Amino acid sequence: MSSDESHPLAKYIRKGAQPHTHCAGCGNGIIAQSFLRAVDQAGIPMRRMVCVAGIGCSGWIPSPFFDVDTLHVTHGRPIAFATGVKLGNPDLEVVVFTGDGDCSAIGGNHLIHAARRNIGVKVICVNNMIYGMTGGEVAPTTPRGIKTTTTPFGNLERPFDLSKLVVAAGGTHVVRWTSYHVARLVAAMKKALTRKGFAFVEVLSQCPVHYGRRIGISNPVEMMRWFQKQSVPIEKARELSEQELSGKFVVGEFVDIEAPELTELYAEQFGAVRLGSN
């Protein structure tokens, strides 16, 4: 364990929480480290942070590994719980770790309403385009035609574009990168953490076990190369047709606008009364 102690991010890891539970080749490790680097760079004290985790592999990024107050909740509901935490004590930095199924299928309602409210909750959405934890069932983000354990003849439905969905719902800060774009991801997470309002950080991530295998790329490194090759910066994507963007991943900052944050509006309406437990 002495080598753990020497890792610069080891101070953020809960003692006794190892070993982790992610499959070999999973993108969660990259996302976990990117997040902790962002926290480190932003200088946010862990005692002021609350991580709210949904159900699905993404929830296991903070829970129980980050040494931070953690609320690991029911499937689809982390944003609803996080809304209560943030309103209860606006001084807390509230971060949700969720997946594409967790926040856009069962929990889609909470996602769009949190974006609409512009409550200062930061959502890290790990999008692996599949239900990984339960065995590889089709998700609302699975592209058309893909064969999964529950679409053995190919998926008939159109996938959600999650970042566009949150933009449409009024999200004030929406950004998408992939597990390949680590430096960009760290910078994006840092920016999201230092903003006041709602933030949605979508991370396309590889699930070699349940998705890569289905699309003929079971090697995790190959999956990341695929992300690299298929990614198109949003600035460039704006000049391309829908047809030209078929099969591509548009990455970058979709929106970044200033708007009043909900808990600040509460404080204002109630005569600058400081909300919270104290």
| The one segment of 11-19, 149-157, 204-212, 253-261 that binds another protein by CB under 8 A | 11-19
| The one segment of 74-82, 196-204, 207-215, 246-254 that binds another protein by CB under 8 A | 74-82
Q: Is 87 in the site for another protein (CB under 8 A)?
A: yes
Q: Which residues contact 16 (CB under 8 A, 6 or more apart)?
A: none
CB closer to another protein out of 9 and 237: 9
Q: Which residues contact 183 (CB under 8 A, 6 or more apart)?
A: none
CB closer to another protein out of 241 and 277: 277
Q: Which residues contact 93 (CB under 8 A, 6 or more apart)?
A: 44, 48, 49, 50, 122, 193
Neighbouring CB atoms inside 10 A of 68's CB total 20
User: Inter-axis angle of helices 182-194 and 28-42, to 10 degrees?
Assistant: 50
x/- track of binding to another protein for residues 25-54 (CB under 8 A): ---------------------xxx-x-x--
Member of 34, 39, 77, 130 binding another protein (CB under 8 A): 77
Total number of residues shown for the chain: 278
Q: Is 165 in the site for another protein (CB under 8 A)?
A: no
| Amino acid, single-letter form, for residue 248 | K
How far is the C-alpha of 140 from the C-alpha of 158, rounded, in Å? Answer: 8
Token pair of 2 as six digits: 């002495």
Q: Which of residues 103-142 bind another protein (CB under 8 A)?
A: 109-110, 113
| The one segment of 3-11, 67-75, 148-156, 244-252 that binds another protein by CB under 8 A | 67-75
Q: Which residues bind another protein (CB under 8 A)?
A: 14, 16-17, 46-48, 50, 52, 63-64, 67-74, 77, 80-85, 87-89, 91-92, 109-110, 113, 266, 269-270, 273-278
